[in-house]
Amino acid sequence: MPVTKDEYGRTSDGEVIDQYTITNKGGMKAKFIDYGASLIELWVPDQQGNAVDVVLGWPDLKGYENNSFYFASVVGRVANRIAKGSFSIDGVKYQLNINNGPNTNHGGIKSFHLKVWKGCIEGDDKVTFTYVSPDGEEGFPGEVTASVTYQLTDDNRLVISFVATTTKATPINLCNHSYFNLAGHKTGSIIDHLIQINAEDYTPLDDTSVPTGEIVAVKDTVFDLREPVKIGDRIYDVPGLGFDHNFCIQSSLEAPCARVSHPGSGRCMEMFTTKPGIQFYSANYLDDTCKGKEGFTYAKHGGFCLESQYYPNSVNQPNFSKSVLRPGEQYNHTTVYKFAW
């Protein structure tokens, strides 16, 4: 079916925000808006053909304008944390806006998830959103032109493809920050889901949730998810509030790096990515102040995120893959979520 476009709402400044809907032949439907280039709904059938919305989100545009949980939006310029909000490139030190304890998280105070992107329909199954980030925004150097293309294929793949260029050397690490609940966004905890992450190693954290720089084997740790594990059987053994850790994977669009399933509905989701890491986040900071779609309150562990990325704080860690993009280069990043039921 052709992609449809409708008005979703108006920002507090009166700017019109459009909604784009893609429907495939398998019974899936995805909805996106210009604000934050956000995936606001994703409908997936179960074994009986009953479709539910499996992504957490806000009930209206006002929620996305105050999106402190980053629901379903594109985060950047740099997803995840930069230690103390500072880094150096070519001998020049840059200081970013601080928004997460002593660190910068997900691009700063008013980053990509709070920007109006320009949407464009491409054929029957794609929508592309573009945003131009000015030089110095949130403290980052260079003017960056970023785009994200969402495609919903007839074989039930949600393909997310990023492209970016810059006028000055700058770190880039874009991702979509969707929270999934394969039982449906308003069914509560995801502790009954099964998860498997094909990672031999992970990056331990300091007390501010920034990687220490070590790369450690998952074997004989709570982070060994190489075989399917019920989230509720493991999450309470993780130090702190739950999972919020980067796993070191083999990037591939041919073999999945992660798989999550919900036994009750039969829905499952496989993840593929071209990046070397994925952040498994178990929604540890959701609380009863989070009033989501259809009036439902999203509580702690009400969803899970699998965020494809360079390792967090890569710009400051010499042994991590470098996330610096330079003029004349192009940042490319594709992530695929494949659904079955």
Q: 227-282 pLDDT, tens per residue?
A: 999 999 999 999 889 999 999 999 999 999 999 999 999 999 999 999 999 999 99
Mean pLDDT of the chain: 97
pTM: 0.97
Pairing of the two strands 29-33 and 170-171: unpaired
Quote the pLDDT of residue 253.
97
Distance, CA of 96 to CA of 110 (rounded, Å): 11
Categorize the per-residue pLDDT at 151 as very low, low, confident or very high, splitting at 50, 70 and 90. Answer: very high
Quote the pLDDT of residue 322.
86
Query: By C-alpha distance, which of 321, 222, 203, 339 is closest to 271?
Result: 339
The DSSP code for 218 is: -
CA angle 172, 69, 162 (to 5 degrees): 30
Distance, CA of 182 to CA of 306 (rounded, Å): 13
Terminal alpha carbon distance of the chain: 21
Tokens in use for 335? Answer: 């992530």
Structure-token match 């400044």, residue found: 13
Percent of the chain whose pLDDT exceeds 70: 100
pLDDT tens digit string along 184-201?
999 999 999 999 999 999
Q: Find the mean pLDDT for residues 277-299.
A: 95
Spatial neighbors of 184 by CB under 8 A, at least 6 apart, are 52, 53, 54, 265
Indicate if the pLDDT at residue 317 is higher than 90: yes
DSSP character string of 282-298: --TT--TT-B-GGG-B-
**Is CATH 2.70.98.10 the right assignment for the domain spanning 4-340?**
yes
Tokens in use for 18? Answer: 């459009």
Tally DSSP H helices, then E strands, for the chain: 2, 27
Spatial neighbors of 262 by CB under 8 A, at least 6 apart, are 182, 183, 192, 193, 194, 268
Distance, CA of 309 to CA of 147 (rounded, Å): 16
Q: Find the mean pLDDT for residues 102-120.
A: 98
- SS3 category, 185: coil
Tokens in use for 70? Answer: 């980053």
Rg (CA), the chain: 19
Q: Find the mean pLDDT for residues 149-166.
A: 98
Tokens in use for 272? Answer: 């593929």
pLDDT tens digit string along 77-98?
999 999 999 999 999 999 999 9
Quote the pLDDT of residue 50.
95
How distant, in Å, are the alpha carbons of 45, 238, 287, 293 from that of 182?
10, 22, 20, 15
Structure-token match 């994977």, residue found: 249
pLDDT tens digit string along 206-235?
999 999 999 999 999 999 999 999 999 999
Distance, CA of 338 to CA of 341 (rounded, Å): 11
- SS3 category, 332: strand
Quote the pLDDT of residue 289.
86
How distant, in Å, are the alpha carbons of 133, 141, 327 from that of 172?
12, 11, 12
pLDDT tens digit string along 13-69?
999 999 999 999 999 999 999 999 999 999 999 999 999 999 999 999 999 999 999
Burial class of residue 254 in the structure, from the number of CB atoms within 10 Å of its CB (0-12 exposed, 13-18 middle, 19+ buried): exposed
Quote the pLDDT of residue 1.
81
Which active-site residues does the annotation give? 177, 307
* CB of 261 closer than 8 Å to CB of 268: yes
Indicate if the pLDDT at residue 155 is higher than 90: yes
Quote the pLDDT of residue 240.
86
Sign (positive or negative) of CA dihedral 147, 108, 134, 87: negative
Quote the pLDDT of residue 105.
98
